[in-house]
Amino acid sequence: MRGLEEKDMANLQGRIALVTGASQGIGRACALELARAGATVALAARNEAKLAEVVAEIEAAVKHNGSGQAAAFALDVASQDSIKSVAKAVLERFGKVEILVNNAGITRDGLMMAMKRADWDDVLETNLTGAFLLTQALLRPMLKNRWGRIINISSVVGRTGQAGQVNYAASKAGMIGLTRSMAREVASRGITVNAVAPGYIETPMTAVLDEKQRAAMMAQIPLGRAGSDLEIAKAVAFLASDAAGYITGHVLDVNGGMFMGG
């Protein structure tokens, strides 16, 4: 294990990372932050134009300090074929993936009584099955490498539930079960598996909320403000670092106090 001096807290120099949903919001912030800490980052999502912009942003940001590189991969986590081909392409390009951030996610809100089967299926497939399949596709080389960090982006809603989001909350609670079960399976190979559970974070996903919904959300946040994508990315970079090497099966709440759980 590398030394744990303070300057190394999030030093990811030479590490290879893959971030899903990296075209905007929290995923974009995670990709930038991991690259700033020195990692080479594979950015994956469906929107190739937006991915290219984030890659350019990373290249511009890291040019000065000579740290991480970035490359884009078109990925639809709702398609097993797409997952298989991207996993193969990333491994061919970089040789390994040491840090996997399962961040891609969608919402299809609606009350239970009115929720269409398709809205249930789409959310579960994208948010939960996608994370399972991509992790599985990358796990063998990670096991062989005997070092890995898997970080799943869950949600405060997976902890508390939310009216109008049975599909989304089930997917995010499912991610916590996936995280803890996997953590037990792979710990002996030096791989940690953790979840980050964001609260209300200002991103394109939450930009669709109206004033009334926003005010209701704010009223539940002891710190009295929304979180930023960077605040989630910092937590992810910490869990990816050597400093977090003894943390596994943990759910890190980054929610301004919205939920203070065990």
Contacts with ligand NAP, residue ranges (CB under 6 A): 20-21, 23-27, 45-47, 50, 75-78, 103-106, 126, 153, 155, 198, 200-201, 203-206
Give the torsion sign (CA, 261, 161, 196, 219).
Answer: negative
Name the minimum Å distance from CB 92 to ligand NAP: 20
CA angle 214, 155, 227 (to 5 degrees): 50
Between residues 105 and 148, which has the closer beta carbon with respect to ligand NAP?
A: 105
Name the minimum Å distance from CB 189 to ligand NAP: 26
40 contacts 94 by C-beta, under 8 angstroms: yes
Between residues 98 and 200, which has the closer beta carbon with respect to ligand NAP?
A: 200
Is 246 one of the catalytic residues? no
Between residues 61 and 221, which has the closer beta carbon with respect to ligand NAP?
A: 221
Name the minimum Å distance from CB 68 to ligand NAP: 19
Distance CA 245, CA 59 (A): 28
Q: Which two structure tokens, joined as six digits, stand for 79? A: 């398609």
Name the minimum Å distance from CB 8 to ligand NAP: 27
Distance CA 29, CA 236 (A): 10
Between residues 85 and 145, which has the closer beta carbon with respect to ligand NAP?
A: 85
Q: Beta-strand (E) ranges in the chain? A: 16-20, 40-45, 70-74, 99-102, 148-153, 191-198, 251-254
Between residues 26 and 32, which has the closer beta carbon with respect to ligand NAP?
A: 26
Distance CA 221, CA 202 (A): 14
Give the torsion sign (CA, 50, 56, 57, 58).
Answer: positive
Distance CA 69, CA 35 (A): 7
Name the minimum Å distance from CB 6 to ligand NAP: 29
Between residues 19 and 244, which has the closer beta carbon with respect to ligand NAP?
A: 19
Task: Provide the angle, in degrees to the nearest 10, between the axes of the packed helices 130-145 and 166-186.
Answer: 10
Place of tokens 């005997």: 146
Region at 74 (left for phi over 0; alpha for psi -120 to 50; beta for the rest): beta
Distance CA 119, CA 222 (A): 32
Name the minimum Å distance from CB 230 to ligand NAP: 12
Q: Which of 73, 120, 168, 200 is catalytic?
A: 168
Residues with a catalytic annotation lie at: 168
